Structure 1
Amino acid sequence: MDYKDASLPIQERVQDLIGRMTTAEKIGQLIQPMGWKTYDKAADGTVQVTEEFKADMEQGGVGSLYGVLRADPWTEVTLETGLTPRQGAVATNVIQQYAMEHSRLGIPILFGEECSHGHMAIGATVFPVPLTVGSTWNMELYRKMCEAIAVETRSQGGAATYSPVLDVVRDPRWGRTEECFAEDPYLIGEFAVEAMKGLQGDRLDSNQTIMATLKHFAAYGSSEGGRNAAPVHMGLRELHEIDLLPFKKAVEAGACSVMTAYNEIDGLPCTSSTYLLNDLLREQWGFDGFVITDFGAIQMLVYGHNTAENGEQAVAQSLRAGVDMEMSGYMYRKHLGQALEQGLIEEKDLDLAVRRVLEMKFRLGLFEKPFVDPEFAEQVIGCEDHTQLAREVAQEGIVLLKNEGNTLPLAKTGTKLAVIGPNANHIYNQLGDYTSPQPREQIVTVLDGITRKLGADSGQVLYAPGCRIKGDSKEGFAQALACAEQADVIVMVMGGSSARDFGEGTIDLRTGASVVTDDPWNDMECGEGIDRASLNLMGVQLELVQEVHKLGKPVIVVYINGRPIAEPWIDKHVHAIVEAWYPGQEGGNAIADILFGDVNPSGRLTVSIPKHVGQLPVYYHAKRTRGKRYLEMDLAPQYPFGHGLSYTKFKYENVRVIPDVIGPDDEAQVMVEVTNTGAVAGSEVVQLYITDVSASVTRAEMSLKGFRKIHLEPGQIQTVTFPVQKEHLALIDSRLQSVVEPGEFRLMVGRNSMDWTACSLHIQKVEVQV
């Protein structure tokens, strides 16, 4: 059997294997059932495959399994019923062994897992969410995070991850904003490239790398009204210039898999779009991996999009368009055979999809190394190095929005602090969606972090939750105000929650203790499928801040949340505001590091924060023709893209471009001198924006085209240089071609999208000699 000969080229092995397969076996390779339903865990921790899985193997096999190691309320896998790092590795080995021994050809299974901000398995490291990661503007740090996620996942048998999310945030009311890096396609593209390096590495057949899956293809973040999976109204030119750019960069960097989006674009569902999945992705971009659907996406063609009359038409539309594997596997398993019999698809269509899946399995080395080492899994998952890395990412992703009168950093001695708020000591509220169940000792809350800084026995820390995220109960106000009255400074930890019901009960607002009741309270107001009409704090949170503020003491608000918060009263009245997004398991330590000045904040916003939800959209790369101001307010955000304060000051001088006239294919250098004029060391994110002064199509008023995060000691000066070339100057013209047009470009270098110094570059027209 040539396909078992590792010395042969992959194409020959695939061809030999496909030639031996029955139609049922081919269809089996294109389905991905729910993996957590394939095993039973005994009381002694041993695992055996289920009868349902055995039946699947008898029907033609299973090509892939989704979420064998995933644990959360959706899967109903808990800390008690789930798998430890060692047990998880053993379980995938047991499942893999059964599949290979009880199938005619012994084709290994591809295990796919969720890893948006950490391997979604019990015991794995919970890193900050991508929105926090984006705020670091630190590509090297993110690559290290991806490497850690890859090794934790692969050590347990997971060979594919359904990340990174490369959606461009257009409307932050969308509940999946937290899963995205930014509102800017260039910045997302840079993170996309680093994700490919960190997750996939130099080779896929390693025990430390996994296959990345780009999602959601395409324009999923541009839905109508910020509602999940709603229609997208966008022309092809804008689609190419904005939403497709990060995907193109990732494909060029070697991405192995792409996931289709639920939405439609101008009436065409992404899951059956031949243009997106074949013409563009494969023929124009040269993508050589395989395409997988999101969960249940093909059903939507019949029930939702209604572009197919029945299941046979739906699977035929998807397969012919370029969908190779179906997550859930329900539609392909049930209808592909009948579609083949009815002539809606041909055997060659089936073979093409199977070929793409098998090629990836060979590239991943699954035929030669189908099993993993449980001891290695136990060593690397949740290890100390990864815990420290999670803290570093959180430290660099936390953004200081306001610091009136240098309220921060706080002194560690001689100051009594009141730590108040629903997110001060709630472990799941600071972790974000797509998080596994957590033992309490693994998560450091803000209260934990502050107490560790000042000492548990120091008497300097008072705590009260005050209120919940949602709901109108004020029964905790009295205790919160009593704590605040005794304190010198009040730290109020407010915001949102993407925590699903992990069975942890609710919080007694009077004591702050966790209470298990028959009527548990769910504070979830963000996350997948949780979209909002507003961006204000929910419940009575604002009222609590206002009551505490009446005491006349310094008030610091720490936001822990998954989308921007628009609360003008807080922006105006409190002394300092810290935006942490969902900072992960080490978030409490990282926030305390910032509050007490052990770490100088260096996070910068990657989404604009509006004054009011009625201003939306407020993304900085708006068109010049966006219209006039509203009657009630202007169009400027409360905090612009790129904004973030430091405990030191930076001065920008001598911005210049050399040369200032180039041809369309030439390169110029933009330079700026940055000086740390303060008394402490700090990191600054130097940002380059470009404006095309006049063009054949309307363009954004300004676009990010470069950035550098630099660290400067007090008084230190550094010259930062940015290359400016075709990639940074090109536009997508009316024919969907990428071109550099002659004319003037304004180059702006500064600390954010509203604070910069400019110089000019001219692109000269090149005369073509005939």
Structure 2
Amino acid sequence: MNTIICLVVFIHLFINQVQTEQCELTLNDDVQLTTSIFLQSRRFCGSYNFLTKNTHQIFISGRLVDYRSHCKRSIPNANIEIIHVQSSFRSICHELNHPNSRGYFNLSTSVTIPLTEQLFLRVTSPGYETIIKEINLPLSQKRPQTILLNWQIVLRPTKEQIKPQQQRQRMNSMIDSLMSQMTLDEKIGQLNLVTLGFDVTGPILSQNVEENIRRGLIGGVFNTYTPKAVGPLQDLAMNSTRLKIPLIFGYDVIHGHKTIFPISLGLSTTWDMALIEQSARIAAQEATADGLNWVFSPMVDIARDPRWGRISEGAGEDPWLGSQIAAAMVRGYQGHDLARSNTVIACIKHFALYGGAEAGRDYNTVDMSRITMYQSFLPPYLAAVNAGAGNVMTSFNEIDSIPASANRWLLQNLLREQWNFNGFVVTDYTAINEMIHHGIGDLQEVSARALNAGVDMDMVGEGFLTTLKKSLDEGKINEQTINQACRRILEAKYKLGLFDDPYRYIDESRTQTDIFTYENRLAAKDFARRSFVLLKTDGRTLPLARSNLNLALVGPFANDHRNLIGSWSAAGDWRQAISVLDGIHKLLGNQIQILHAKGSNIIEDAPLIELLNAHGGDIILDGRSAQEMIDEAVEISKKSDVIVAVVGESQGMTGEAASRADIGMPECQKRLLKALFDTGKPVVIVLMNGRPMTLTWENEYAAAILETWFAGTEAGNAIAEVLFGFYNPAGKLTTTFPRHVGQIPLYYNHKNTGRPFNSTQLTEKYKSRYIDLPNDPLYPFGYGLSYTSFSFGSIRVDKNELRGDSDRLTVRINVHNVGAYGGEEVIQLYISDPEASVTRAVRELKQFKKIFLRSQQQEEISFIITTNDLKFFNTNLDYVWEQGDFIIHIGPDSVNTQSTLLPAPRPLLANVGLVTSSSSPISQHKTKASISRSPSSSSSSSTNSSNSSSSGSSRSRSRSPISRRSRSPTPDKPPTPSSSTPPVTINNSNVSSSLLQQQAAAAAALFSSSSLSSLLPMYSMGLFPIPPPPPPPPILPAVNFSPEQIARVCETLEENGDIDRLGRFLWSLQVAPGSANLLVQHESILRARALVAFHLGNYRELYHLLENHKYTRDSHAKLQAMWMEAHYQEAEKLRGRPLGPVDKYRVRKKYPLPRTIWDGEQKTHCFKERTRSLLREWYLQDPYPNPAKKRELAQATGLTPTQVGNWFKNRRQRDRAAQAKNRQQYGIGAGSYSPPSSPDSSTT
């Protein structure tokens, strides 16, 4: 029984004492009480010995009554105690177990405690929460005082002490009693959800809201928040209605309430379920403090078309990853107990298939097969239901030619019968009324069909309110259906505790303590920087220098606040968001010089501006002409060392009703970028957008591209920390970025075709391909670079078969951070089924692990494979696994993976050996060698399925810089197709020396028909030829090469001086500049790469090879001589004459030698590059190294232990000074990048 206890307490105190600070305390358990007591602060006056114990005589009388029984019955077995925790004193006042006591009690007791301590009154009763109230004693040195305390306490049932069936029985009993008193109008009224307040999120508004509340014709209100706005409406329901049924209050809390986090698509790119759950937990805390108890989130629709504006609200294109995120969001919103005042009901939307709208046009028709629904679109909804979501929202679209809100198969057969959903179903905004336009009936007809299909609450349309009684009279519906819908709404309110305390979410004090707090903003910054995806880097520009830097910050979003919080940030205040300019100033102050210019407007399309501004777009055109703004940006860019261009979409260009046919950069911003590229300075593009965009042209010319989405309240601070290396970006895409809008829909887990296209079949026409564009995307699913580099070892399995449902198989792979920075990596496991009873996707994500590795740290990653990972839906829609062979792919994204063949799960033991998948028809280009990932540009190396009709292109992560073309970029030029040649399969198997001569001969005669000049575009841009020359024949296909053997081939060609064939040979092995395959890091091969780069004039590649690899002294001398000779030749071309000694001296001064590390001796001039990076990484782990660690670092860096100790000492002093300065200026400390904790560790 839910109870409110009224106590009238008379306390007589025979004491002489000073006044203590009064603090009223309400807690639920003793542990919390003890913690709070020790945190109490007290003020005292006078000169007294406060530790002296005194004896206090206390007299208490009072009464406990049952509120719902109108003070006529007592609470059985209720105990009232005075407690003093510090001295372990407990005085049992009275046990109210007499049937005729009617709740009255009396107590007198003596308490001996120090003057400074406090007393508490505790009320306990079996099956109810413990209530503890502080006894505030106004102490005086004079006579005793009489204190009158009027306390109203709500005792709620303790869920832990009541079995689930008892809770259900108690709820059913209460709701049965209430519904027996309700009229038909009041029952229908509970099915009516109205909008009132701050936001307009649909075509119509509700009318006569307050009057209908008084009449009991409204069950819930949305778009209203804050206790001041919600409180009066709840007052109407509780004081002006017959049965006093409380209202439920909902709102669109999508990615934060007041503290805005990155948009949902951005949060998904963290691949961090604990972080996503925490974001929902914080959002629920803020929402409940603002009067809300129901949020219209999460949106779990799978979206494969980036033209659809609401792709920004979801988790991308993959059903498995989307399911993990959906469950995490529900857990974050609802917690473990909805009765707690900081939890909300989560709403699964939009059920179902809303993301499959044809042509990406919002509200459009969806037409797909049942097997596609089950396999690719429904899993996230099911995961959210299994996580305990209390509400489902129907979608606008039709399914099997029946609108979702009237689809009985969807809402009854699937949702309630197959999935056992027991919450309530609400429509989307006026979805019932909109079924009239679908052509299935008038308002009365569609309302009846919606109720019969399983809809419980009508949002805004009031079709239920105005037509259900008439439909009941005409026999179109029955009263039992109305009762079922009404019961589900009342059950939701009961679970929220609204019948116990209708005002539990209306607390003005919580708006000051729980909303937009400093801790929440710190969390928002952490979420933002973890969501950023580094799409491209030349390995040199980022991270930016933190001092002695002239930075040009340009773009319409460089100092913008309005668009940072993105779409569906309804309660967020954009004026509190931190811009990029503010964030950099706050982080570095005057350490760098920042030159700022707007450069362009966001858009200049007048009709589009009018449309967006009519709905809160806030797009304001600059008073200057477009050319004047560009000229200003170019002028400051010429004075800078590097340009950061902050460009993208406005928040109104994404979200609901914001579909775009062209998802490229707006033309005015493209003209700005072209002018910036023409300056010759490195340009870093910072993207702000809510969808994948076509960035083929931008990717070609930018030095780096950082995808930041709409990052929320702390966007500017987070972007600044990532740009300047305080945080190493580790986000991974959850949607595919196409090269061109003509490729859409484009997603990684597509099906095969009967005529699959392979990237080497360039002259084949009758294949599933585009003749003017590659099939592969610009950036594939799972893709994301880092400031460091990771290499992947070969896949290992503990056995060669699975024996059924109970069996498990362990897959292991070593991951090594080979770069100079600590960083995070997401190891992704995909599975392919090359032969099944139904066609399967080319690969499907099944597991992943996110790890942090220090520089040079290596870790073994293991995955447990069971038959659950191999299951799929067959033609009967049964979720099954079948016998056969499966292929496991592991890598840093969906394309750049290693693979191995996994023999099928078998009901009986079978001896099937494990083999590599090079013979598999699904994945032709497999390797058992390591796959290295490091920051790179856009070089492509297709390792995807050879059957893939639109396979993604692998993004190389080598640190090789990319030279921009000498010509001026032209944004109007259509994207140029690119392709890649598959690598030769390389094994570590030994080959007899007798074969080496054959291999060398084959390599020497390999490309005699092609000229090396045809490779010039590839090497100068770090890309493969466009179009490439005819693919080379394989080099002795029956023989696999080891790195040593490849090195001997390179040495043979180098000795013969055949640079042309050497370049073709390296290209065939995918070790050309910018390649991701770092298997062949043999010194001879590196020297051969340098030789080819030298002859092609690719000096940036030559510089990269010198700076980032170790050589023997002889090779080092050859490469440095090659470096200087390259610049001598360039200088001779410019002067038109041979160089003299003075000229060569000037060239050496202008182009200093790279600081190279060679084996044997470690020179001090290396300190500024690799040594500093190594020391910095160790410093981040332990700023106070012990002597043993100093000796270890000294040996690794070539310094003395004293030098290492001095470096650490100076670094600590600089950090303390910087933190003190930041605290003085901004109130917070800013230090170096600190690595995140392991995903397996608990989250604070």
TM-score by length of 1: 0.89
1:601-645 Cα deviation digits (max 9, x unpaired): 101111110111111121100101276110111210001111111
Distance 1:142 1:574 in 2: 31
Q: Which amino acid aligns with 2:719?
A: I
Mapped contact 2:547–2:591 kept (Cα < 8 A) = no
Distance 1:767 1:655 in 2: 25
Give the percent of matched residue pairs that are identical in Structure 1 and Structure 2. Answer: 38
Question: Residues 439 and 57 (structure 1 numbering): CA distance in 2 closer, same or farther, change over 3 Å?
Answer: closer
Task: Please tell me whether the aligned partners of residues 30 and 354 of structure 1 are also in contact (alpha carbons under 8 angstroms).
Answer: yes
Q: CA offsets per residue over residues 76-125 of structure 1, 9 Å max, x none?
A: xxxxxxxxxxxx12332222122111111111101011111012xxxx10
Query: Whose relative contact order is higher, 1 or 2, with alpha carbons under 8 Å and at least 6 apart?
Result: 1
User: Mapping of 1:469-548 within 5 angstroms?
Assistant: 469-471=602-604, 473-498=626-651, 524-548=652-676
- Decide whether the 8 Å contact of 2:312 with 2:655 is kept in 1: yes
Q: Which residue of 1 aligns with 2:790?
A: 650
Q: 1:608 maps to what in 2?
A: 736
Q: Name the amino acid aligned to 1:568.
A: T
Larger mean Cα displacement after TM superposition, 93-102 or 229-238: 93-102
Assess if the C-alpha contact under 8 Å between 2:780 and 2:893 holds in 1. yes
1:602–1:51 distance in 2 versus 1, CA, 3 Å:
closer
Correspondence for 1:102: 240
The alpha carbon displacement at 1:765 in A equals: 3.6
Q: Cα RMSD between the aligned structures?
A: 1.9
Alignment of 1:238-637 (within 5 A): 238-303=372-437, 305-308=438-441, 310-371=442-503, 372-436=506-570, 442-455=576-589, 457=590, 460-471=593-604, 473-498=626-651, 524-625=652-753, 628-637=768-777
Match of 1:659?
A: 799
* CA–CA separation in structure 2 for the residues paired with 1:531 and 1:261: 17
Equivalences for 1:198-277 in 2 at 5 Å? 198-277=332-411
Q: Is the 8 A contact 2:561 2:575 kept in 1?
A: no
Distance in 2 (alpha carbons) for counterparts of 1:587 and 1:727: 40
Q: Structure 1 residues 195 and 459, CA, compared in 2 at 3 Å: closer, same or farther?
A: closer
1:264 and 1:325 map into 2 onto residues whose CA distance is 19
Any conservation in 2 of the 1:601–1:647 contact (CA below 8 Å)?
Answer: yes
Partner Cα distance (1:37, 1:276) in 2:
33
Specify the code of the residue in structure 1 equivalent to 2:391. S
Q: Which of 747, 761, 764 in structure 1 is aligned with 2:902?
A: 761
Amino acid at match of 2:803: G
1:726 & 1:379 partners in 2: Cα distance? 48
Q: Which amino acid aligns with 2:552?
A: A
CA displacement at 1:438 relative to structure 2: 5.6
Which residue pairs with 2:284 in the alignment?
Answer: 150
Q: Given residue 773 of structure 2, which amino acid in structure 1 is its aligned partner?
A: M
Offset at residue 659 of structure 1 (A)? 2.9
Taking the aligned partners of 2:856 and 2:187, their CA distance within structure 1 comes to: 66
In 2, Cα distance between equivalents of 1:99 and 1:605:
47
CA offset digits 1:276-325 (Å, max 9, x no partner): 1110010001111010100010011112x1112x1111111111111101
Q: Distance in 1 between matches of 2:414 and 2:859?
A: 42
- Residues 618 and 90 of structure 1, relative CA distance in 2, 3 Å threshold: same
Match of 2:867 among 717, 722, 726: 726
Counterpart residue number, 1:676 = 817
Residue 104 of structure 1 aligns to a residue in which SS? coil
Partner AA of 1:342 in structure 2: E
Shift of 1:440: 6.0
Pick closer, same or farther for the CA change 1:438–1:262 going to 2, 3 Å. closer
Asked whether the 8 Å contact 2:260–2:572 carries over to 1, the reply is: no
Q: Which residue does 2:890 correspond to in 1?
A: 749
Q: Secondary structure at the match of 1:111?
A: strand
Deviation at 1:459, TM superposition (A): 6.5
Q: Which amino acid aligns with 2:223?
A: G
Larger deviation, residues 90-99 vs 435-444: 435-444
How far apart in 1 are the matches of 2:285 and 2:573?
22
Secondary structure at the residue paired with 1:394?
helix
Amino acid at match of 2:197: W
Contact 1:412 1:453 in 2 (8 A): no
- Native 8 Å contact 1:61 1:99 kept in 2: no
Cα deviation digits, residues 367-396 of structure 1 (max 9, x gap): 112113210222111011110111011111
When residues 277 and 573 of structure 1 are mapped into structure 2, their CA distance, relative to the original with a 3 A threshold, is same
Whether the 8 Å contact between 1:670 and 1:722 is mirrored in structure 2 is yes
TM-superposed deviation, 1:436 = 3.4
Q: What stretches of structure 2 of length at least 5 have no aligned partner?
A: 4-67, 70-155, 158-168, 200-205, 606-625, 757-766, 910-1244
- Taking structure 1 as reference, are residues 148 and 682 closer, same or farther at Cα in structure 2, changes over 3 Å only? same
Q: Given the alignment, which residue of 697, 701, 713 partners 2:838? A: 697
Question: TM-score, structure 2 length as denominator?
Answer: 0.56
CA shift for structure 1 position 437 = 6.5
Task: Return the match for 1:89 from 213, 223, 227.
Answer: 227
| Residue of structure 2 in register with 1:67 after alignment | 223
Deviation at 1:216, TM superposition (A): 0.6
**Structure 1 stretch 105-114 or stretch 713-722: which is displaced more?**
713-722
- Rounded to whole Å, the distance in 1 between the matches of 2:280 and 2:214 is 37
1:27 corresponds to which residue?
188
Aligned residues: 707
Which residue of 2 is the match for residue 9 of structure 1? 170
8 A contact 1:664–1:763 mirrored in 2: no
Counterpart secondary structure, 1:225 = helix
Match of 1:510 in 2: none
- Residue matched to 1:164: 298
Residue type of the alignment partner of 2:232: V
**Amino acid paired to 2:184:** T
Partners of 2:829 and 2:848 within 8 A in 1: yes
1:516 is matched with: none
SS at match of 1:601: coil
- Distance in 1, Cα, partners of 2:599 & 2:198: 41
Structure 1: runs of 5+ lacking an equivalent: 39-49, 70-87, 499-523
* Residues 175 and 490 in structure 2, CA contact (< 8 A), matched pair in contact too: yes
CA contact (8 A) 1:232 1:265 kept: yes
Per mean C-alpha deviation after superposition, the further-off stretch among 184-193 and 368-377 is 368-377
CA distance in 2, matches of 1:494, 1:347: 57
In 2 relative to 1, CA 748–16 (structure 1 residues): closer, same or farther, beyond 3 Å? same
Query: 1: CA distance between counterparts of 2:852 and 2:573?
Result: 36
Q: Is the 8 A contact 2:196 2:209 kept in 1?
A: no
Q: Is the 8 A contact 2:554 2:646 kept in 1?
A: yes
Distance apart, 1:243 and its partner CA: 0.8
Q: CA deviation at 1:2?
A: 10
Distance in 2 between the 1:611 and 1:432 partners? 24
Q: In structure 2, the residue corresponding to 1:752 is in which secondary structure?
A: coil
Contact 2:546–2:724 (Cα < 8 Å) also in 1? yes
Q: Is the 8 A contact 2:397 2:404 kept in 1?
A: yes
Partners of 1:272 and 1:317 within 8 A in 2: yes
Q: Is the contact between residue 178 and residue 432 of structure 1 (CA under 8 Å) also seen in structure 2? A: no
Aligned AA for 1:67?
A: N
Distance in 2 between residues matched to 1:563 and 1:441, nearest whole Å: 24
| 2: CA distance, partners of 1:248 / 1:68 | 30
Letter in 2 for 1:159: N
Amino acid of the residue matched to residue 468 of structure 1?
Answer: N
Partner secondary structure for residue 688 of structure 1: strand
Q: Secondary structure at the match of 2:830?
A: strand
1:332 to partner: Cα distance: 1.6
